[in-house]
Amino acid sequence: MSKKPYIIVLGNEKGGTGKSTTAMHVMTALLRLGYKVGSIDIDARQGTLSRYIQNRETFAKNYDIDLPMPLHYRLERSKADSIKAAEAEDQTAFEKAILTLQDCDFIVIDTPGHDLYLSRLAHSYADTLITPLNDSFIDLDVLAHLKSDSLELEKPSIYADWVWEQKKHRAVRDRGSIDWIVLRNRLSHIHAHNKEKMEGVLNTLAKRLAFRQVPGFSERVIFRELFLSGLTLLDLQDVGRPLTLSHVAAKQELRNLMNQIKVAALEEKIKEVL
């Protein structure tokens, strides 16, 4: 790994898509691969990722278990009166957070499910942007507006437009690029016509909007249960919980996601550890 941290941003302008859960699992996977990992919670008002990490710290302390932890940074939004002043303060605070975590191999950033200057700024720093998307046409609307009769692209959504804007900002700032992954989450185990249509539409949109579509996590109760203890699928054996077939399948889904983060050194470690 180079000295500059590799930045992974979880972003979607819609809430409830599994950004924080995905962020926590990606971080834990990286930690267990031996990397030094920093995390930034830009969604400070909701603070789901911060609470997840707090729950993890509490569980580890209560049960005297050594769980790998990221270096966490919770970023509060500026309360300045003017938009210009607030954005300047937000940018300074964000750059300070990145500087604080500069010795990390990876920085994982969780963003809110609404438009925010800090969120747009974080997107522009992403090396990999992961957009979890619930497997439904309602959630697909965050990427593009479709014609109801033909499911053809009518126009990109506001979110897709400003991802494109942040790609341009990134290119101007340091000539870097953003690898955009759309992660289909909460997939049903049942083959359905709607699911098939979703896949076809996303394949078309991927070419138009320049993202890569990958399968995410299936709908599993385990993800909701793990939040309260701050655990991930990768921690279950360490805390003495037997793995079910569902857990093994979910770990494979996580492994597939990690394989999509295109860092050569990471790909080699995944083969050895996960």
Q: What is the pLDDT of residues 16-27, one digit of tens each?
A: 788 999 999 999
Beta bridge partners of 39: 72, 108
Q: What is the distance between the alpha carbons of residues 6 and 130, in angstroms, rounded to a whole number?
A: 13
- Does residue 242 lie in a domain region? yes
Closest-CA residue to 38 (of 92, 91, 100): 100
Q: What are phi and psi of 96, to 5 degrees?
A: -65, -40
Q: What is the pLDDT of residues 239-255, one digit of tens each?
A: 988 888 888 888 888 88
- Does residue 240 lie in a domain region? yes
Inter-residue contact 188 to 195 (CB < 8 Å): yes
pLDDT at 163 over 60: yes
- Does residue 174 lie in a domain region? yes
Burial label, 29 (beta-carbon count in 10 A; 0-12, 13-18, 19+): buried
- Does residue 1 lie in a domain region? no
Res 195: pLDDT: 66
pLDDT at 198 over 60: yes
Give residue 19's domain range. 6-273
- Does residue 268 lie in a domain region? yes
Domain count of the chain?
A: 1
Inter-residue contact 143 to 209 (CB < 8 Å): yes
Q: What is the pLDDT of residues 200-247, one digit of tens each?
A: 788 888 888 889 988 878 777 777 789 999 999 999 988 988 888 888
Q: What is the pLDDT of residues 111-149, one digit of tens each?
A: 988 888 999 999 999 999 999 988 777 777 888 777 776
pTM for this one?
0.91
Name the residue with higher pLDDT: 56 or 18: 56
Task: Read off the pLDDT of each residue in 3-12 and give the average, rounded to a whole number.
Answer: 92
Closest-CA residue to 143 (of 182, 172, 110): 182
Q: What is the distance between the alpha carbons of residues 270 and 245, in angstroms, rounded to a whole number?
A: 21
**CATH number reported for the structural domain that contains residue 171 in this entry:** 3.40.50.300
Name the residue with higher pLDDT: 184 or 227: 227
Helical packing angle, 245-259 and 221-229, nearest 10°? 80
Inter-residue contact 123 to 111 (CB < 8 Å): yes
- Does residue 120 lie in a domain region? yes
- Per-residue confidence band for 181, with pLDDT thresholds at 50, 70 and 90: very high
- Does residue 189 lie in a domain region? yes
Inter-CA distances, 105 with 8, 39, 40, 78, 177, Å:
11, 11, 14, 28, 18
pLDDT at 60 over 60: yes
pLDDT at 104 over 90: yes
Q: How many helices (H) and strands (E) does the chain have?
A: 10, 9
